[in-house]
Chain A
Amino acid sequence: MLEIKNLHVKLEEEDKVILKGVDLKIGPGEVHAIMGPNGSGKSTLSYVLAGRDGYEVTEGSAMLEGQELLEMEPEERAAAGLFLAFQYPVEIPGVGNMTFLRTAVNAQRKARGEDEVSAAEFLKLVREKAKTLKIDAEMLKRPVNVGFSGGEKKRNEILQMAMLEPRMCILDETDSGLDVDAMKLVSDGVNALRDAGRSFLVITHYQRLLDHIKPDVVHIMAAGRIIKTGGPELALEVETNGYADILSEVG
Chain B
Amino acid sequence: MALPKVKEDALTARLAALPALAGKGWLGAARAEAQGRLAAMGLPSRRDEYWRYTDPASLVAAEAVPAADFHPGDEAPAFDAIDRLKLVFVDGVFDPAQSDDLALAGVEIERLAQAGAADIHWAQGLYGVLEARGQTPVQRPLAALNSAHATDGLLIRVTGRAARPIALIYAHESKTSDAMLHHCVKVEAGAELTLLESGPGAARFTKVLEVEVAEGAQFHHIRVQGRDHERRAATHVFARLGARAEFRSFTLTANGRLTRNEAVLELAGPDARAHVAGAAVGDGDFHHDDTVFVTHAAAACESRQVFKKVLMNGATGVFQGKILVKPGAQKTDGYQISQSLLLDEDSQFLAKPELEIYADDVKCSHGSTSGAIDETALFYLQSRGVPRKAAQGLLVLAFLAEAIQEIADETIADDIRGRLEGWLARHASKGSA
Residues of A within 8 A of B (CB): 50-53, 73-75, 77-79, 83-84, 86, 89-95, 99-100, 103-105, 107-108, 111, 143, 160, 164
Contact = CB atoms under 8 A, between A and B. Distances in A.
A74 B383 contact: yes
Nearest to A163: B384
B375 A53 contact: yes
Interface in B113-165: none
A95 B402 CA distance: 11
Nearest to A84: B383
A75 B397 contact: no
Contacts of A78: 382-385
A193 to B, nearest CB: 16
Contacts of B384: 75, 78, 100, 104, 107-108, 160, 164
Contacts of B400: 94
Given A86-B380, A93-B401, 14 more contacts: A50-B379, A51-B379, A51-B383, A52-B379, A74-B382, A75-B385, A75-B387, A89-B380, A90-B379, A104-B384, A108-B384, A108-B385, A143-B398, A164-B385
Interface string B370-385: 0000111101111111
Contacts of B109: none
A51 B401 CA distance: 29
B395 A95 contact: yes
B264 to A, nearest CB: 29
Contacts of B402: 94
Contact of B398 (A52, A53, A92, A105): A92
B388 interface: yes
Q: Which 3 A-B pairs have the closest CB atoms?
A: A94-B398, A78-B385, A74-B382
A86 B379 CA distance: 11
A108 B381 CA distance: 12
Contact of A50 (B383, B387, B390, B397): B383
A72 B383 CA distance: 11
Contacts of B374: 92
B335 interface: no
Contacts of A89: 380
A83 B385 CA distance: 9
Contact of A103 (B383, B388, B390, B399): B390
Contacts of A143: 398
Contacts of B376: 90
A111 B398 contact: no
9 contacts: A50-B379, A77-B383, A91-B377, A92-B374, A95-B394, A100-B384, A103-B394, A104-B381, A111-B387
Given A75-B386, A107-B386, A107-B387, A94 B397 contact: yes
Contacts of B375: 53
Contacts, number: 84
B385 A90 contact: no
Q: What class of interface size applies to chain B in its complex with A?
A: 20 to 34
Contacts of A50: 379, 383
A111 B385 contact: yes
B169 to A, nearest CB: 31
Contacts of B383: 50-52, 74-75, 77-78, 83-84, 86
Contact of A79 (B385, B390, B398): B385
Residue among A77, A78, A79, A89 with the highest chain B CB neighbour number at 10 A: A78
Interface in B373-424: 374-377, 379-388, 390-391, 394-395, 397-402
Contact of B386 (A51, A53, A94, A104): A104
Residue among B382, B394, B395 with the highest chain A CB neighbour number at 10 A: B382
A107 B390 contact: yes
B385 A107 contact: yes
Nearest to B394: A95
A132 to B, nearest CB: 20
Contacts of A160: 384
Contacts of A94: 395, 397-402
Residue among B383, B390, B395, B398 with the highest chain A CB neighbour number at 10 A: B383
Given A79-B385, A107-B385, A108-B385, A53 B390 contact: no
Contacts of B399: 94
Residue among B383, B385, B397, B399 with the highest chain A CB neighbour number at 10 A: B385
A90 B399 CA distance: 15
B380 to A, nearest CB: 4
A173 to B, nearest CB: 16
B398 A73 contact: no
A102 to B, nearest CB: 11
A172 to B, nearest CB: 11
Interface string B190-233: 00000000000000000000000000000000000000000000
A81 B337 CA distance: 41
Contacts of B401: 93-94
Contacts of A164: 384-385
A244 to B, nearest CB: 34
Given A93-B398, A95-B394, A95-B398, A103 B379 contact: no
A75 B380 contact: no
Contacts of B381: 92, 100, 103-104
A51 B385 CA distance: 12
A103 B386 contact: yes
Contacts of B398: 92-95, 143
A53 B394 contact: no
A143 B381 CA distance: 13
B196 to A, nearest CB: 25
Nearest to A91: B377
Contacts of A73: 382, 387-388
A92 B395 contact: yes
A77 B377 CA distance: 17
